[in-house]
Amino acid sequence: MINWKTLKKIDAHIHILPDEVHEANPGSEDAWLVTGLHQYATMMDNLGIEKAVIMPLNDPWLMSMEFTVDAVHRNLYDMKQQYTGSFYAFADIDTRNDPATSVQAIRRAIEEYHLDGIKIHPNNNGVTLDSDYYNEIFAYAQENNIPVAIHCYPNSEDDFCTAKHIVSIMEQYPKLTVIVSHMGAFQWEQLLPTKAYADLSAILPAYVREYGIQKTNEILRHFGPERLIFATDYPDSRILQPCEIYESYFTILDQMDFTQAEAERIAYENMSRILNEEPQ
Ligand SMILES: [Zn+2]
């Protein structure tokens, strides 16, 4: 049996707010502020997490005290620098800026700050995924071989982040590397015909609560180990306390029917390959 706690992993989707945001909010009990960079770094060994990918929130008020996308990128760069090799980080988008300015900021984030991908959260942006706003960003990412993680946890059929928008983006940008964060939640079936990767963040415990263990295993099997990516969304969860998240993931994954080689692929190899492909 596979022990997911000790299995070597990359957590491909976590949230850590920069030190300056923690310092500006002393004593806050907000879930976003439960764990800082240094505390998370001390937890990693015990959780079998060799590396973690820090995702921005497309919300500069959470990720900097200057409230600009450039300040967010600088903070992400600083976090990576403090623990070399332990953290990756994806670039942010601030839709108060026009599309060309957003692409410039992303270009700087990749070329100067050495960030590792782009995160799009249509709901936080208030800009639907099939809007023209993102065209230049997708074109830049496809041309330069930069992975794009897209929040897809729709609350309704006409949400900004629905699975059908992901399908449409992948038709328009067939060479784009897309990681669907939260697996499309309860619209997962619509993503099966695509080649998108699916990260397990936030949704895995929700599937088990909704469908039970066996059906959850079937859903993961539909995607297959070559498309699945271990990720939690720590410390964020709609149904769990931050301190419950990792144990919940390990308990569920221990009950899935993956072979050792399949588990290693989901836990580490798929994301490692995506992160280590050279930007062009
Ligand atoms: Zn997230």
Peptide bond preceding 18: is omega within 30 degrees of 0, i.e. cis? Answer: no
pLDDT digits (tens, 9 = 90+) for 156-188: 888 999 999 999 999 999 999 999 999 999 999
Query: pTM of this prediction?
Result: 0.96
CATH code: domain of residue 242: 3.20.20.140
pLDDT at 278: 67
Please report whether residue 3 resides in a domain: no
55 alpha carbon to ligand 1 midpoint, in Å? 7
Helix, strand, coil % over all residues of the chain, rounded to 5: 50, 10, 40
pLDDT score at 1 = 85
In a domain, 118, yes or no: yes
Within a domain: residue 189?
yes
Find, among 243, 159, 239, 229, the residue nearest to 200 by Cα. Answer: 229
Cα 26 to ligand 1 centroid, rounded to whole Å = 23
pLDDT in tens, 96-128: 999 999 999 999 999 999 999 999 999 999 999
Q: How far is the CA of 23 from the centre of ligand 1 (A)?
A: 22
How many A from CA of 279 to the centre of ligand 1? 24
Per-residue model confidence as pLDDT tens digits over 4-47: 999 999 999 999 999 999 999 988 888 888 889 999 999 999 99
pLDDT at 279 over 80: no
* Rounded distance from Cα 269 to ligand 1 centre (Å): 21
Determine the distance separating the centroid of ligand 1 and the alpha carbon of 63, expressed in angstroms: 13
Residue 182 Cα to ligand 1 middle (Å): 8
pLDDT bucket at 277, cuts 50 / 70 / 90: confident
Euclidean distance between CA atoms 177 and 90, whole angstroms: 13
- CA nearest to 203, candidates 219, 230, 183, 223: 183
pLDDT of residue 252: 98
Determine the average pLDDT of the residues in 242-250. Answer: 97
Please give the distance, rounded to the nearest whole angstrom, from the Cα atom of residue 87 to the centre of ligand 1. Answer: 16
State the distance from the centre of ligand 1 to the C-alpha of 2, rounded, in angstroms.
26
14 C-alpha to ligand 1 centroid (Å): 6
Q: Does 21 map to a domain?
A: yes
Report CA(139)–ligand 1 centroid distance (Å).
Answer: 23
Mean pLDDT of the chain: 95
The pLDDT value given to residue 60: 86
Q: In what order do the strands lie in the sheet with 49-54?
A: 9-14, 49-54, 87-89
Q: Write down the H helix ranges in the chain.
A: 19-24, 37-47, 60-63, 69-82, 99-111, 122-125, 135-143, 163-172, 203-211, 213-223, 242-254, 260-264, 270-276
pLDDT at position 33, please?
Answer: 86
Residues at Cβ < 5 Å from ligand 1 ion: 233
- 260 found inside a domain: yes
Q: Is residue 243 part of a domain?
A: yes
Residue 191 belongs to a domain: yes
Q: How far is the CA of 124 from the centre of ligand 1 (A)?
A: 11
pLDDT at residue 35, rounded to an integer: 87
**CB distance 113 to 79 below 8 Å:** no
Domain assignment of residue 51, yes or no:
yes
| pLDDT score at 27 | 82
Digit-coded pLDDT (tens) for 194-237: 999 999 999 999 999 999 999 999 999 999 999 999 999 999 99
202: alpha, beta or left? (left if phi > 0; alpha if psi -120 to 50): left
pLDDT surpassing 90 at residue 153: yes
- Provide the residue range defining the domain that includes 231: 9-276
Domain count, the chain: 1
Q: What is the pLDDT of residue 131?
A: 93
